[in-house]
Amino acid sequence: MLAHLAVHNLGIIAAAEVDPAPGLTVITGETGAGKTLLLGSVRQLLGEPADSGLVGHHGDEATIDGLFATGEEEMGITRVIPREGRSRTRIDGAVVSADTVRRTTSSMVEVVGQHDQLSLRRSEYLRRTIDSLMGQSGSDPLAVYGAAWAAHEELVGQAQMLGGDTTALARELDLAKHQAEEIRVAGLTTDLDERIEGEVSRLRNIEEIRENLAASSDLAERVVELTGEIVARMRKISVFDSSLDETSAVAESFASLSQEMASALRRSLESQEGDPATLNELEAQLTSLGDLKRKYGKTLEEVMSFGDNITDRALELERLISDAATLESRLETSKAAMLAAARDLTEARSRIADSITEKMLVHLTDLGMGTARTSFRFEPIGPRSTGADRMELLFSSGEHSEPRPVSDVASGGELSRLVLAFRLASSEAAKASLVFDEVDAGIGGQTALAMGHKLAALAKTNQVLCVTHLAQVAAMADTHYEVVRDEGGTAEVRLVPRNERESVLATMMSGEGTGAAKKAAKELLANRPK
C-alpha cells in the first residue's frame, strides 16, 4: 500500500504531504484546485514518462516522495523532475531506471483513469484472477491440467533427446560402451602413470644401477673391515683408560651401522634384475595411458571421471532406446490427456467468468450503467503451462451494440466503474493500492451513493484512493483530504478533521454549505457502512 506521499513544487502545490489510510482515502476540492496533480504525482512514482509541466514556480524542479509498505517491509521511491533535462528516480536511495520502477510497482499500485492500460485489458491478469477462484468447489481443474502438462512435457523432453533417430542413438551407445570398457580394463588409479614411469626409468638404467651398487658394496665391505679394526684397537685402549669408553661405544655403533649398510647394498645388488620383456610391457602400458589421457583428459583422474560419466550415459542410452519403441504411443496418450484437461480447465474458467460477469452487471446497474453488457471471450491457443486459452473481457455500454474488447470501447469513466465492478465481483483479495480518477464522471444521486458504498466495500480488502467531486463518495471515506487554493493561487492539501467533514461535504453539495446541505451531509455520514 501507499503509506506516505510528499510533493514539493508540484504545479500550484508548493509542498504537501498525504498519508493514505489502509481503507478508503478521498481527495476533494474545487475544479482547478490541483486534485489531479496529486494523482499525477502517483503516476510519476510508478515510472510514467517524466512530465516537466508538473514543475511549479517555486524552483527549477519538482520532487515527489512515496513510501510503500508491504507487511513489515517498506520501500521508498523518489522522483525528481527538472524543468529541463532528464528526470532522476531512486528506490531506497539507489538510482534506477523508470523501467525498473514500473516492474517493481506493477503489482503494488494500479491507477484507474482515462487512457490507462488497465489490468482488465491484460489476458494474464484476467487468467490469474479467475484461477485464484479455482478449486473452491472441491475439484481443481488447474492442478489436474498442471500435472498433465508436466507429464507430457517430460515425454516431449525424452523424444527430443532421442532426436527421432534411434540408429544414431545406437551408434552413440556403441561408442559409449567402447569408451567405458577401454577405461575400465586399464585398471586405473590416480598415480598409476607415475608408478609405471618410475619402474620404466629403473629398467632402462639397470646396468648403471647395478654397476654403482656393486662399487658401493665393495666400498662398504672395506669400511666394515676398517671399522672392525678401529673397534678392536679401542677395546684394547679402554682397558687402560676408562674415559675413552664413550668413544669406544661410538666406534662400535659406527661398525654396526657399516655392517648394516654393507648388507643392504648386497641385497639391493642381488635384487636388481633386468627384464627386457617387462620393460617392453611397461613402456607399452605407458603409451596406452598416454593415449587415454590424450582422448579423455589431461590427467588419469580426469580420465577416470570421464569413464564414470560415459558409463552413466551408456545406461541412459540403453534406457532411451528401450523406451523408444513405446514412446510414440505414450506421447499420443499424454497429449490426449493434456488436451482433455485443458478443455476441462477452459470450461471451469468459463463458468467462473460467467459468474463474475453476472455479478458485475448487478454492480454496474447500481453504478448507473444498467444497459451495459459484459462477457468473457476465450480464444484457443497452443497448450502451455497455464492452459490452452487466452481470455478477453468484452464490454458494451448499450444493449443494442455488440460487446467488444474493453480497450476498444470503454471510456475513462466507464473503465473506472468496470474495474470497480470487476474487483467486487471477483472478490479479489490482493492488497494492491487502487487509485481511481474520474470514477464519478457523469453520475449523481443514488448512483453516486451506490458508488460510494461500493468503493467502501472494496476498501475492506484493498487500499483505495479516489479523487472525487461527489459528496456521496467522499462521505464513505476513512480519510478525507481537501485541496484548497489561497488568494495567490497556491494550493494547499489538508487533512479534513472529523469535526469538519460535515461542513466540507455540505459545501461540496451546495457550494455555500446551506442548512439543507448540512442536513444531507449529516445523513450521509450517519449512513456510512460500518
- pLDDT classification of 116: cutoffs 50, 70, 90: low
- H helices within 239-275, ranges in order? 245-271
Mean pLDDT taken over the chain: 86
DSSP 269-311: HHH----HHHHHHHHHHHHHHHHHHHHH-SSHHHHHHHHHHHH
User: Which tens digits make up the pLDDT trace of 446-503?
Assistant: 888 888 898 888 888 889 998 888 899 999 999 999 998 887 778 889 999 999 999 9
Cell numbers describing residue 527: 449512513
Helix (H, G, I), strand (E, B) or coil at 464: strand
Helix (H, G, I), strand (E, B) or coil at 449: helix
CA distances from 264 to 28, 259, 261 (A): 109, 9, 5
User: Which tens digits make up the pLDDT trace of 342-394?
Assistant: 999 999 999 999 999 999 999 888 888 888 899 999 999 999 999 999 999 99
Query: 32 phi and psi, to 5 degrees?
Result: 85, 0
Q: For position 153, what pLDDT does the model report?
A: 94
Dihedral (Cα; 111, 109, 107, 51), 10-degree rounding? 70
Name the strands in the sheet holding 373-384, side by side, starting at the edge strand that comes first in the sequence: 373-384, 387-396, 404-405
C-alpha span between 144 and 497 (Å, rounded): 54
Dihedral (Cα; 384, 385, 388, 391), 10-degree rounding? -110
- pLDDT, average across residues 203-232: 85
Q: What angle, rounded to 10 degrees, do the helices at 412-426 and 445-458 form?
A: 50
**In the chain, where the domains are located:** 191-298
**Residues 376 and 357 sit within 8 Å (Cβ to Cβ):** yes
Q: For position 172, what pLDDT does the model report?
A: 87
Q: What angle do CA 162, 168, 173 make, to 5 degrees?
A: 90
C-alpha span between 311 and 55 (Å, rounded): 71
Q: Is the pLDDT of residue 103 over 60?
A: yes
Q: Cβ of 212: how many Cβ atoms within 10 Å?
A: 12
**Looking at per-residue confidence, does 194 or 137 come out higher?**
194
> In this structure, which long-range contacts are made by residues 501-505, counting pairs with CB atoms below 8 Å and at least 24 apart in sequence?
501/475, 501/525, 504/28, 504/474, 504/480, 505/471, 505/474, 505/475
β-bridge mates for residue 2, sequence order: 68
C-alpha span between 480 and 466 (Å, rounded): 10
Instruction: Quickly tell me which residue has 679402554 as its cell.
Output: 238
**Residues 38 and 62 sit within 8 Å (Cβ to Cβ):** no
Helix (H, G, I), strand (E, B) or coil at 322: helix
C-alpha span between 371 and 477 (Å, rounded): 28
- Tabulate helix, strand, coil % of the chain (nearest 5): 55, 20, 25
Q: For position 415, what pLDDT does the model report?
A: 78
Roughly how many angstroms between the first and final C-alpha of the chain, as a whole number? 22
Going along 30-152, which residue ranges are E strands?
61-70, 73-82, 88-91, 94-96, 109-112
User: Which tens digits make up the pLDDT trace of 1-34?
Assistant: 899 999 999 988 989 999 998 899 999 888 777 7
Which of the given ranges, 37-51, 273-287, 420-434, 507-521, has the highest pLDDT on average? 37-51
C-alpha span between 473 and 470 (Å, rounded): 5
User: Which tens digits make up the pLDDT trace of 230-250?
Assistant: 888 888 887 888 788 888 888
DSSP state of 55: B
Helix (H, G, I), strand (E, B) or coil at 218: helix
CA distances from 188 to 181, 192, 319 (A): 12, 6, 28
C-alpha span between 245 and 231 (Å, rounded): 11
Radius of gyration of the chain (CA): 45
